[in-house]
């Protein structure tokens, strides 16, 4: 099943899961997940590395930036912060996590999510304050709202081993993984655009699975079918506009993450195929 009908069925699944529980605060979900901020260290270039540590109770799972068929995408709001110019979230490699009969992308164990902080004024502390909204799942899925606050001292110079390990666990870049080329073939289908991406790369490991993301937040990407053909990984999916209208696909804005038991690869953009 492809296109709009698949989108409708997936959204219905997500809605059924979401209504299993109303949004609750971290205080009410301490037996599911605990979240705290690792203050990290100030780098030589003036930026700061910190992290969110999500301590998941046994059996509970949470989601990656692109949560899959019916997961809950994490949201960050740093409006309460001071001396903060920007925050880049650096996700460790996730894995496909079966949930309620469909595939989600995330973590089924404790996870440290590094944050690359850009202070407004160098040489001064940063107060990181804001709200994190995540989904955690076991037999039910629970949307959790967490308030976090932590001073990130400018004098801290020693790297935190937990953050360093999480940075090391992020996906390989395309060059590191030996990706030779990525070609995208686009063709119109009812209500959208069919995308076939051919990624020429060495076999990453067992059970390769491709995740496709669009830089346009209004473009829905259906869960891809992933197959291996010799030296190429093939990902087939359908793109639809959430408003049901026609749209252009910017190949440079497509992002491919290949996951397997042997690691992960992050690939940005593709050529015409």
CA–CA separation, 118 vs 110, rounded Å?
Answer: 26
Q: How many residues does the chain have?
A: 273
pLDDT higher than threshold 50 for residue 1: no
Q: For 86-137, what is each residue's pLDDT tens digit? A: 999 999 999 887 777 778 899 988 999 999 999 999 999 999 999 999 999 8
Return the minimum-mean-pLDDT range out of 46-60, 67-81, 174-188, 234-248. 67-81
Residue with tokens 């909204």: 133
Q: Which residues contact 19 (CB under 8 A, 6 or more apart)?
A: none
Which pLDDT does position 25 carry in this prediction?
54
The more confidently predicted of residues 69 and 107 is: 107
pLDDT higher than threshold 80 for residue 83: yes
CA–CA separation, 138 vs 144, rounded Å?
Answer: 13
pTM of the full predicted structure?
A: 0.87
Mean pLDDT over the full length of the chain: 89
In the predicted model, what is the mean pLDDT of residues 239-257?
94
Which pLDDT does position 175 carry in this prediction?
96
Which 3-state string (H, E, C) describes the chain? CCHHHHHHHHHHHHHHHHCCCCCEEHHHHCCCEEEEEEEEEECCCCCEEEEEEEEECCCCEEEEEEEECCCCCCEEECCCCECEEEEEECCCCCEEEEECCEEEEEECCCEEEEEEEEECCCCCCEEEEEEEEEEEECCCEEEEEEEEEEEECCCCCCCCHHHHHHHHCCCEECCCCCCCEEEEEEEEECCEEEEEEEEECCCCCCCCEEEEEECCCCEEECCCEEEEECCEEEEEEEEEECCCCCCCCCHHHEEEEEEECCEEEEEECCEEC
């Amino acid at each position: 099943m492809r296109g709009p009908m698949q989108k409708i069925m997936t959204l219905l699944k997500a809605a059924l899961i979401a209504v299993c529980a109303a949004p609750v605060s971290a205080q009410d979900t301490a037996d599911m997940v605990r979240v705290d901020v690792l203050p990290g260290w100030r780098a030589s270039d003036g930026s700061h590395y910190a992290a969110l540590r999500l301590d998941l109770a046994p059996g509970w799972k949470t989601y990656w930036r692109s949560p899959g068929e019916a997961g809950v995408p994490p949201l960050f709001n740093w409006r309460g912060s001071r001396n903060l110019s920007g925050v880049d979230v650096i996700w460790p490699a996730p894995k496909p996590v079966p949930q309620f009969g469909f595939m989600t992308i995330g973590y089924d164990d404790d996870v440290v999510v590094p944050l690359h902080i850009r202070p407004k004024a160098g040489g001064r502390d940063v107060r990181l304050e804001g709200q994190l909204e995540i989904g955690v799942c076991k037999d039910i899925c629970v949307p959790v709202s967490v308030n976090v606050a932590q001073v990130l001292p400018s004098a801290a110079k020693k790297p935190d081993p937990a953050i360093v390990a999480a940075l090391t666990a992020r996906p390989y870049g395309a060059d590191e993984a030996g990706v030779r080329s990525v070609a995208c073939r686009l063709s119109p289908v009812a209500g959208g655009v069919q995308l076939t991406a051919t990624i020429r790369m060495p076999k990453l490991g067992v059970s390769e699975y491709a995740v496709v993301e669009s830089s346009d937040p209004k473009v829905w990407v259906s869960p891809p079918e992933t197959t291996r053909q010799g030296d190429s990984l093939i990902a087939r999916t359908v793109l639809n506009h959430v408003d049901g209208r026609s749209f252009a696909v910017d190949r440079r804005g497509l992002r491919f993450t290949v996951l397997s038991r042997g690691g992960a690869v992050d690939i940005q953009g593709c050529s015409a195929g």
